[in-house]
Amino acid sequence: MAESIDESMAFKFEVEPGFSIIKLKNNRPIDKNFFHKGDSNVIQMHFGIQGSYQLNFNNGNYHLEIGENNSYLIYNPQVNLPVDLLLHARTRAIVLLISIDKFHSFFTKEANLIHFLNPENIEKKYYLEKALEPSLMIVLNQIYNYGLHSSLEKLYTRGKVYELLSLYFHQSDADDKQKCPYLEDDNNVEKIRLAKEILIDNFAEPPTLTDLANQVNLPLQYLKDGFKHIYGETAFAFLFNYKMEYARNLLTTKKYNIAEISFEVGYSTPSHFIAAFKKKYGSTPKKYLQSIGV
């Protein structure tokens, strides 16, 4: 049976025992809090569809930001982790809650392909952040924007959630993990997270990969492989996408001209910026604004 939890913000739906989905939204112009009691034997899978939200840990003393087109998987059998969120304005997201026993039943034959299902890792915490492929975004939007008769909702959602899991774990994450054993060390993961933050803080004039590796005290190849494993793309693919999204947001405000935006995101000439924007979005900035009616 579906369970309502402040329907202006969230809707929890039990796909089957031990497996639930929460659809989250904040259509208001201010941030909103959401809290759902957690359990140590539950895997949380977070999917950002629109906007962004903050995932809080340890009573808010530590948090992670989950953005649009991004995902975060977390499993920590050592503590009860609630779903403690701060939904920013104009945000839509989906959270899957799956008991570890139920998860095992899904992937019995494929357990060796998923790192934290291996018997030697079952009591270890595990987390994975990665960008969402277009195929995953399509399924997420289908789940979120369900439009069939209500009597079919459970059947439709159940099928789509299984499709989502299949697509999510299709990548050979275990192969990557075996090539990156240093990622089992939380300190190395934090160094790669720091590298991402350095890129964001200096996105207009980013350091070279060699300089970045030196700043976070990681071997260059470790940084390259680890960044791609955690975030699903290379460091400079991430940087390019971040710059384009930043530029797109500036563009839609109509407060800045092309030359100003070009300079803001680190391009030497407007023509270079226009070419990069077209590569990302398939049209020039001017045509993009026309297409969205701004």
pLDDT tens digits, one per residue of 8-56: 578 888 888 999 999 999 888 889 999 988 888 899 999 999 889 999 8
Range name among 3-7, 83-87, 132-136, 278-282 with the lowest pLDDT average: 3-7
Q: Beginning with the edge strand found earlier in the chain, give each strand of the sheet holding 91-99 in spatial order.
A: 2-5, 10-16, 19-26, 91-99, 42-50, 70-75, 126-131
* Position 139 in a domain: no
When comparing pLDDT for 125 and 43, which is higher?
43
254-269 mean pLDDT: 92
Distance (Å, whole) CA 92 – CA 241: 20
* pLDDT score for 147: 58
Domain-terminating residue out of 134, 155, 170: 134
134-156 mean pLDDT: 76
Has residue 108 got a pLDDT over 70?
A: no
214-236 mean pLDDT: 85
Number of domains, the chain: 3
* pLDDT score for 216: 94
pLDDT tens digits, one per residue of 147-190: 555 667 778 888 999 999 888 887 544 444 444 555 566 788 88
Side-chain-side CA neighbours of 110 within 13 Å: the count stands at 15
* Position 158 in a domain: no
* Position 175 in a domain: no
Q: Are 89 and 195 contained in the same domain? A: no
* DSSP state, residue 119: G
* pLDDT score for 2: 42
Q: Are 126 and 205 contained in the same domain? A: no
Three-state DSSP class for 142? helix
Three-state DSSP class for 3? strand
Q: Are 17 and 110 contained in the same domain? A: yes
**Pick from 26, 168, 155: nearest CA to 96:** 168
Those residues with Cβ within 8 angstroms of residue 121's Cβ, 6 or more apart along the chain or in another chain: 115
Question: What sign has the CA pseudo-torsion 183, 184, 185, 186?
Answer: positive
- Mean pLDDT score across all residues of the chain: 82
Residue type (1 letter), 91: T
Q: Are 91 and 33 contained in the same domain? A: yes
Contact criterion met (CB below 8 Å) for 113 and 172: yes
pLDDT tens digits, one per residue of 75-86: 888 888 899 999
When comparing pLDDT for 103 and 213, which is higher?
213
Top mean pLDDT of 1-10, 74-83, 135-144, 265-274 is at 265-274
Provide the pLDDT confidence category of residue 64 given band limits of 50, 70 and 90: confident
